[in-house]
Amino acid sequence: MYKRFNNDDDVVVSSKAFLFDLDGTLLDTLGDLADSMNAVLAARGLPVHPLDQYRYFVGDGMRELARRVLPGKAPAEDIIDQLVEEMRIEYGARCYDTTAPYPGIITMLEVAAATKKPMAVFSNKPHDFTTQMVKKFFPDIPFHMVLGVGGDVPRKPDPAGALRIARETGINPEEFFYLGDTATDMQTAAAAGMFAAGAAWGFRDEDELRKNGAGIVLQSPDEVTEIVKKMLQ
């Protein structure tokens, strides 16, 4: 059903809280992110990039996205600032064009909610976009907390946001099931002392998740649902 590494499903089933990444884990946002940044680049007369290349551009926040799409090395910080602002405008105008939950995600979240265990979202997307998109796509899911980057929340793999969620939910970090789709998520989970679960349906591949500390790698949201159902038994 799923691939095991150093941990087994008993560790997952014994978890007392859920922490989910957003982009590439709950939502397929790749098309809208790519279209938005390509629009920024095209307006500046810069080369645009194919969709699949964005799988490796995104995941570490908007500033890193801007840095990665520019040609050459070490772009000036003022140029990065400009691209981030332009990206915010473009993305704000089209972030709902093609974005949707992955198949099986709604059921997965509903089953997780039925366990009555605290649930949270932690994203490297700016906080305002994160909260807006969770509200739009998951209005009936009772998340205890939703955090994006900004203010006193640094971007992952800094574990500060994950640890804040643990404090505010009153659950020890080691009792969290952290589901994410990138090396950054696996590193964040390790730094926070949480159980790292890799979402192989997302933006990166299974090999990256394994190499960066995934305790388990799941191939679809349905596989997560089956594990979570064991918590209800």
Q: Long-range CB contacts (< 8 A, 24+ apart) of 203-208? A: 203/23, 203/24, 203/30, 203/55, 203/56, 203/58, 203/59, 204/24, 204/55, 204/56, 204/59, 206/3, 208/182, 208/183
Contacts of 89 (CB under 8 A, 6+ apart): none
User: Which three-class secondary structure state does DSSP give residue 121?
Assistant: strand
Which residues contact residue 189 at a Cβ distance below 8 angstroms, ignoring those fewer than 6 apart? 162, 176, 178, 180, 195, 196, 213
The one catalytic residue in 8, 9, 10, 21 is: 21
Tokens of 79: 């140029």
Is 158 a catalytic site residue? no
| Residues forming the active site | 21
